[in-house]
Amino acid sequence: MHILIAEDDSILADGLSRSLRYDGYAVDVVHDGSSADSALKAQAFDLLILDLDLPQMHGLSVLRELRRRNTLIPVLILTAADAVEQRVMGLDLGADDYMAKPFELSELEARVRALARRGAGVASTVLTHKKLTFDLNGRMACIDGQPLELSARETSLLEIFLSRCGRMVSKNQCVDLLCEWGEEVTPNAIEVYIHRLRKKIEPSGARIVTVRGLGYCLEPENRSDAIPA
């Protein structure tokens, strides 16, 4: 999952990004509203953590422009504890949740997990496909209850495919969803990760199929259920 943090407090932004990276997320950070707006126009993210009092472009304007483009990614607003009016306006403009500063990091992490599930259209904290299960909270995969040893990249790829079962995912989408800015991960490297992941999940009966010229798809239980990305 790829998260964008728009926060002008560099100490807070650094703490948030470190914690979320430790949890296995790809995280990019911007410190002003204009940069946030540009990043959201240029690249797909799974979640936006948005401070409202940003320089250059207010967070509410960033949110307004995001929803005007019909971009539906979940948005978690960060506001001052007494900024009730801004919180209400943010929710009315299409934010999904908010947290008042100061906040407990553990609560923010839980809200991020909840918004990630909502954004993927998943109600449960555990994704299941054939004999394969994936715990979204612990980011642990199992086959028939036995833990599956996966690298960080393989874990993230498995989460992408399970949350989009039956939908096409291109190599470029994989790169965008897996990688932070400046990381050198090529489409060819994605092929290698997917090859390794295929071998590891094969005993579960789950299959990642290649559709030439389009990308990859986790084959659904019923092949007729497959839909385009």
What is the mean pLDDT of the segment spanning 33-56? 92
What is the mean pLDDT of the segment spanning 40-51? 91
CATH architecture of 126-225: Orthogonal Bundle (1.10)
What pLDDT is stored for residue 222 in this prediction?
Answer: 64
3-state helix/strand/coil string of 163-182: HCCCECECHHHHHHHHCCCC
Q: Do the domains 2-119 and 126-225 sit in the same CATH topology, yes or no?
A: no
What pLDDT is stored for residue 124 in this prediction?
Answer: 64
Ordered strands of the 26-30 beta sheet: 26-30, 2-6, 47-51, 75-80, 97-101
Domain boundaries, the chain: 2-119, 126-225
Q: Is the pLDDT of residue 228 over 70?
A: no
What pLDDT is stored for residue 101 in this prediction?
Answer: 87
Q: How many whole angstroms separate alpha carbon 61 and alpha carbon 27?
A: 22
What is the mean pLDDT of the segment spanning 33-50? 92
What pLDDT is stored for residue 188 in this prediction?
Answer: 81
**Are the beta carbons of 14 and 3 closer than 8 angstroms?**
no
Q: Which residue has the higher pLDDT, 38 or 138?
A: 38
Name the CATH topology of 2-119: Rossmann fold (3.40.50)
**Are the beta carbons of 79 and 52 closer than 8 angstroms?**
yes
Between β-strands 2-6 and 47-51, what pairing exists: parallel, antiparallel or unpaired?
parallel
What pLDDT is stored for residue 76 in this prediction?
Answer: 95
Q: Is the pLDDT of residue 121 over 80?
A: no
Q: Is the pLDDT of residue 7 over 90?
A: yes
Q: What is the pLDDT of residues 91-108, one digit of tens each?
A: 888 999 999 888 888 899
Q: Which residue has the higher pLDDT, 51 or 175?
A: 51
Q: What is the pLDDT of residues 197-206, one digit of tens each?
A: 999 999 999 9
What pLDDT is stored for residue 227 in this prediction?
Answer: 47
What pLDDT is stored for residue 61 in this prediction?
Answer: 95
Q: What is the CA radius of gyration of the chain?
A: 18
> With pLDDT > 90 as the criterion, what percentage of the chain qualifies?
38
Mean predicted lDDT score pLDDT of the chain = 86
75: part of which helix (H) or strand (E)?
strand 75-80
